[in-house]
């Protein structure tokens, strides 16, 4: 009888133990290291991503970015080259936000790999400060400020960005909510195909190449010979409007996804636009070589329409709201649409 009583008590305590266990799961920690110029985002002790603004960058980025099962989805080159990677466009690193023509200056193509002459026509997004961090269960936050600086160092835009990092059982999400404010002069975002919110993925998640390309060798060094090698390359773009593959590029959609696999792990990455954003639904700069970007301001560049040429008068602001969903499964369009509806309800 005594044993039965103890067994009943233990059964009654199962919900308590489950609740205690769940309270520890998906713990998101946002940890700052100002001296080394980065902020780590950990989920249950494992690295999800790192916000970094070191001197070798011309913009703050999130790099690397990992799945819920610790698989990196971002290209390592040029920060940490890995074997068999494509080496084009060294300015495409991690996850970032910038634009191709701001008051006549290029903020998109800028990197330390440009010549001094090229840099005379390129700006830089300069990290100013970490405003706040917040850790928690299933969600963490990071707020930062930056200046969009011209080649002479003069800032024309103040950037205020909030990142929200979400943790699920087999998924991760990043919300980026960025407010740009014109400082002491009018700021023109001339219609350009190069912008605005971009992610560069690892080789396995690119679409298969159709022509030989330069890849890193087994030691991560640049090869001098172009190769047509699609071993383990598995990516495919799809959009909310039914476009697939290369047909997604230059079209408008409320969301787009890139699906593939790394080893045995199926991975789907989706980027969501928001109805409150300028230019919604935006254009997709979805390139087979691994660039996954969304551009709200390239109306003429993509469709040969009247140029948008978005302008901020002195002291005026604009806000951009995006979400990146990374799930470790082969997600259907219906799965992504359901997640998209949650996004537009949560982020306004």
pLDDT single digits (tens) 272-317: 999 999 999 999 999 999 999 999 999 999 998 899 999 999 999 9
Tell me what pLDDT residue 54 has.
87
How many CB atoms are located within 10 Å of the residue 21 CB? 9
Q: For the chain, give every domain's residue range.
A: 24-346
pLDDT greater than 90 at residue 80: yes
The residue to which tokens 């079209």 are assigned: 251
Q: Is the pLDDT of residue 61 over 50?
A: yes
The pLDDT assigned to 6 comes to 42
Interatomic CA distance for residues 47 and 66, integer angstroms: 7
Query: Among residues of the chain, what percentage have pLDDT more than 90?
Result: 86
Mean pLDDT (the chain, rounded) = 92
Instruction: Decide if 172 contacts 48 (C-beta within 8 A).
Output: yes
pLDDT in tens, 208-250: 999 989 999 888 888 888 989 899 999 999 999 999 999 999 9
What top-level class would CATH report for the domain 24-346? mainly beta
pLDDT band at 3 (very low <50, low <70, confident <90, very high): low
332 φ/ψ angles, rounded to the nearest 5 degrees: -85, 165
| Secondary structure in 3-state letters for the chain | CHHHHHHHHHHHHHHHHHHHHHHHCCEEEEEEECCCCEEEEEECCEEEEEEECCCCCCCCEEEEEECCCCCECECCCCCCCCCCCECCCCCCCCEEEEECCECCEECCCCCCCCCHHHHCCECEEEEEEEEEEECEECEEEEEEEEEEECCCCCEEEEEEEEEEEEECCCEEEEEEEEEEEECCCCEEECCCCCEEEEEEECHHHCCCCCCCECEECCCCCECCCCECCCCCCCCEEEECCCCEHHHHCCCECCEEEEEEEECCEEEEEEEECCCCCCCCCCEEEECCCCEEEEECCCHHHHHCCCCCCEEECCCCEEEEEEEEEEECCCCCHHHHHHHHHHHHHHCC
Give residue 185's pLDDT. Answer: 97
pLDDT tens for each residue of 249-274: 999 999 999 999 999 999 999 999 99
d(CA 204, CA 233): 4
pLDDT tens digits for range 173-204: 999 999 999 999 999 999 999 999 999 999 99
Instruction: Give the pTM.
Output: 0.92
- What confidence score (pLDDT) does residue 33 get? 97
pLDDT exceeding 70 applies to what percent of the chain?
A: 93
């Amino acid at each position: 009888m005594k044993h039965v009583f103890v067994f009943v008590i233990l059964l009654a305590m199962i919900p308590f133990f489950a609740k205690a266990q769940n309270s520890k799961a998906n713990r998101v920690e946002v940890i700052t290291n100002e001296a080394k110029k980065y902020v780590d985002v950990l989920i249950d002790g494992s690295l999800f991503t790192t916000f970094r603004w070191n001197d070798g960058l011309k913009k703050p980025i999130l790099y690397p970015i990992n799945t819920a099962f610790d698989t990196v989805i971002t290209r390592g080159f040029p920060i940490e080259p890995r074997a068999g990677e494509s080496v084009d466009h060294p300015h495409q690193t991690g996850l970032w936000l910038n634009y191709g023509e701001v008051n006549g200056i290029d903020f998109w193509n800028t990197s330390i790999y440009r010549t001094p002459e090229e840099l005379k026509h390129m700006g830089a997004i300069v990290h100013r400060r970490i405003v706040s961090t917040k850790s928690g269960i299933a969600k963490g936050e990071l707020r930062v400020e930056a200046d969009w600086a011209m080649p002479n160092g003069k800032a024309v835009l103040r950037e205020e960005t909030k990142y929200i990092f979400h943790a699920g059982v087999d998924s991760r999400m990043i919300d980026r909510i960025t407010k740009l404010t014109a400082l002491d002069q009018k700021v023109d975002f001339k219609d350009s195909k190069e912008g605005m919110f971009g992610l560069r993925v690892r080789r396995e998640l690119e679409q298969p190449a159709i022509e030989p390309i330069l890849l890193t060798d087994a030691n991560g060094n640049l090869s001098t010979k172009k190769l047509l090698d699609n071993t383990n390359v598995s990516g495919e773009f799809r959009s909310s409007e039914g476009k697939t593959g290369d047909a997604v590029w230059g079209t408008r959609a409320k969301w787009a996804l890139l699906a593939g696999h790394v080893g045995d792990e199926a991975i789907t990455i989706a980027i969501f636009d928001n109805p409150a954003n300028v230019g919604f639904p935006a254009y997709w700069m979805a390139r087979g070589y691994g660039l996954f970007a969304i551009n709200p301001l390239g109306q003429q560049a993509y469709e040969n329409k009247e140029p948008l040429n978005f302008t901020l008068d002195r002291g005026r602001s604009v806000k951009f709201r995006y979400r990146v969903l990374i799930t470790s499964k082969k997600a259907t369009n219906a799965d992504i649409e359901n997640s998209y509806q949650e996004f537009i309800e949560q982020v306004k």
